[in-house]
Chains A and B, each alone.
Chain A
Amino acid sequence: MQFGIFTVGDVTTDPTTGRTPTENERIKATLAIAQKAEEVGLDVFATGEHHNPPFVPSSPTTTLGYIAARTENLILSTSTTLITTNDPVKIAEDYATLQHLADGRVDLMMGRGNTGPVYPWFGKDIRQGIPMAIENYALLHKLWREDVVDWEGKFRTPLQSFTATPRPLDGVPPFVWHGSIRSPEIAEQAAYYGDGFFHNNIFWPMEHTRKMVDLYRRRYAHYGHGTAEQAIVGLGGQVFMRKNSQDAVREFRPYFDNAPVYGHGPSLEDFTRETPLTVGSPQEVIERTLTFRDAVGDYQRQLFLMDHAGLPLKTVLEQLDILGEEVVPVLRKEFANLRPAGVPESAPVHPAVAAARVSGKES
């Protein structure tokens, strides 16, 4: 199983000090967080993509390219790449380039974005969100698999004899996830291609996540990629930990109460009960995370949101230490013991990455 973190890249005032980081500080903090993820033994770092304040990650491959140069094992990913408003040709080029720079340590997650005005800002119509996600991905899929592409669709100018360069590393395209909170069409799309399905699993009750994953699994089997149990599933999650549960709750509460998206709404207690948020001791996080498997079956990737709502860098790095030292090693073992033979251990990695790992273990 792969464990990692995903970031939204929000610039949020720390409610306990009233201090707001600069964009520069936030971007540099993101780099420090990614490098820490590698240092504490996590497998994946994923960044969101946003084109409006208070978010900084508008140019994910720039950031991931930097991180690629500063890390050796970390898989670089996205959460999500906007398949609606980005030109699929540019996505093909950017992420193939990143794949070469990172020696294959790249996969990415398609998403439609959650900010209405981004569509018109990029000359698109939000009402066409799903059709755009479907058509644009169909083109991206083709650009990475066929050297010379002729294309005509509804949403971009036609292509005749087009070759996206560079070609994917060793001819193997990056693995793709499709992320959606509530659109069955996207679960269907992931299943059709045999790609991964990721549920952000943060804002909604687990029961809802379970239904989306269940639909994806059944359709994955329907399209003949394997059994439902073999489908590639990723989940998000959100935790805050201290040695003592009460300390975690006390420290995290002001960040929760003022958090973007759900702040000023349900209480921390209601939200931890109804959604996968866990605030407590490392042991509580371990126990809660294992229950995700009860809901969605054996899955391949778990990403945690650790660096939002104005938490200072120092705290985030402490959280990553706890995650890497106390939580993930136990979860790796527990999930591995529970996983039946025949169910993939992780999302597919690039052959170059797999080869490097084998030689790394042998040396």
Chain B
Amino acid sequence: MFATTPLRVVAVSAGLSQPSSTRLLADRLAAATRERLTAEQDRAGRDDRDVEVRVIELRDLAVDIANHLVSGFPSAGLREAIDAVTEADGLIAVTPVFTASYSGLFKSFFDLIDHTALTGKPVVIAATGGTARHSLVLEHALRPLFAYLRAVTVPTSVYAASEDWGSSGDEYTEGLPSRIRRAGGELASAVLGRTVSGASRAPGLDDGEDAVVPFEQQLADLRLD
């Protein structure tokens, strides 16, 4: 038997209040994803890979994020959070809606992630807001952001308005729990269907000599060899 690495699901929550409905939605999505990851592996009769879920609260990193923007390098804690996101097998990204878009804190965090670091990564996007009128923020703001980052965003995005926490849907609309389950299922399928797990970033300084294009090649590209 080979020891297998766990499947890592990371949820990023940009909620600011404590307790926060954004965090609540992140937790619910993470739980739904874990449940489906376990169930799908059982069904396929595979040896289960453990599922590790981690929630990153951007509120705790707000000052570090601002300092990174100003100074150009991350604190140790922020570095660790960025690494967790880039190395995750599946990502859940949840923001409150502020002024018709994702919050500034949410955007600032993703601004600090290398633009190639999320390539091919399965992502669920989700948002919270006071009224359902903002729900298309997911489609006109978050989905293009992750498209730019070349992530694989699953079809179902989850918007939770205040009223969703106290209602169960109607004949036209599924309730919040079933939307969360659907998104979690899509993310689980995408994670398990991925051929390469973990980070898919471009080679960097951490890869040592593998990161360098040999100088002869650099000269040849300029036809100076």
Q: Would B218 and A218 count as touching, CB distance under 8 A?
A: no
Within 8 A of A (CB), among B140-190: none
Which of B71, B206, B223 is the one whose CB lies under 8 Å from A203? B71
Q: Taking the nearest CB of chain B, how far is it from the CB of A167, in angstroms?
A: 23
Q: Would A184 and B75 count as touching, CB distance under 8 A?
A: no
Within 8 A of B (CB), among A185-219: 185, 187-189, 191-192, 203-205, 208, 211-212, 214-215, 218-219
Q: Is B212 an interface residue (CB 8 A)?
A: yes
Q: Taking the nearest CB of chain B, how far is it from the CB of A201, in angstroms?
A: 12
Complex Cα distance A153/B75, Å? 42
Chain A residues within an 8 Å CB radius of B221: 131
Q: Would B209 and A262 count as touching, CB distance under 8 A?
A: no
Which of B72, B211, B212, B224 is the one whose CB lies under 8 Å from A153? B224
Q: Would B67 and A270 count as touching, CB distance under 8 A?
A: yes
Q: Would B212 and A219 count as touching, CB distance under 8 A?
A: yes
Complex Cα distance A128/B97, Å? 39
Chain B residues within an 8 Å CB radius of A131: 218, 221-222
Complex Cα distance A215/B219, Å? 19
Which of A138, A219, A264 is the one whose CB lies under 8 Å from B219? A138
> Which single residue of chain B is at the shortest CB-CB distance from A131?
B222
Interface size on B, residues (CB 8 A): 24
Complex Cα distance A261/B223, Å? 38
Complex Cα distance A211/B73, Å? 15
Q: Taking the nearest CB of chain A, how far is it from the CB of B12, in angstroms?
A: 23
Complex Cα distance A265/B204, Å? 26
Q: Is B1 an interface residue (CB 8 A)?
A: no
Chain B residues within an 8 Å CB radius of A188: 212-215, 218
Binary A-proximity of B199-213 (CB < 8 A = 1, otherwise 0): 000001110110111
Q: Is B196 an interface residue (CB 8 A)?
A: no
Interface size on A, residues (CB 8 A): 36
Q: Which of A131, A188, A275 is most buried by chain B, counting CB atoms within 10 A of its CB?
A: A188
Q: Would A264 and B72 count as touching, CB distance under 8 A?
A: no
Chain B residues within an 8 Å CB radius of A138: 219, 222, 224
Q: Would B205 and A270 count as touching, CB distance under 8 A?
A: no
Q: Would B67 and A135 count as touching, CB distance under 8 A?
A: no
Contacts A214-B208, A265-B67; is A204 near B219 (CB within 8 Å)? no
Complex Cα distance A326/B158, Å? 64
Q: Taking the nearest CB of chain B, how far is it from the CB of A342, in angstroms?
A: 23
Q: Is B100 an interface residue (CB 8 A)?
A: no
Which of B67, B208, B215, B223 is the one whose CB lies under 8 Å from A215? B208
Complex Cα distance A325/B148, Å? 55
Complex Cα distance A187/B205, Å? 11
Chain A residues within an 8 Å CB radius of B72: 203-204, 262
Q: Is B66 an interface residue (CB 8 A)?
A: yes
Q: Taking the nearest CB of chain B, how far is it from the CB of A277, in angstroms?
A: 11
Q: Is A28 an interface residue (CB 8 A)?
A: no
Chain A residues within an 8 Å CB radius of B206: 211
26 pairs, A vs B, C-beta closer than 8 Å: A131-B218, A131-B222, A134-B222, A134-B224, A135-B224, A138-B222, A138-B224, A154-B222, A182-B205, A184-B204, A184-B211, A185-B212, A188-B218, A189-B218, A203-B73, A208-B73, A215-B208, A215-B209, A215-B211, A218-B209, A222-B209, A261-B71, A265-B70, A270-B67, A271-B71, A274-B75
Q: A189-B218, A211-B205 are in contact. List 13 more A-B contacts (CB 8 A).
A: A153-B224, A184-B212, A188-B215, A192-B215, A208-B73, A212-B205, A214-B208, A215-B205, A222-B209, A223-B215, A265-B71, A270-B67, A271-B71
Residues of chain B touching chain A, judged by Cβ–Cβ distance below 8 Å, are: 66-67, 70-73, 75-76, 204-206, 208-209, 211-215, 218-219, 221-224
Residues of chain A touching chain B, judged by Cβ–Cβ distance below 8 Å, are: 130-131, 134-135, 138, 153-154, 182, 184-185, 187-189, 191-192, 203-205, 208, 211-212, 214-215, 218-219, 222-223, 261-262, 264-266, 270-271, 274-275
The 4 closest A-B pairs by CB, nearest first: A265-B70, A192-B215, A266-B67, A188-B212
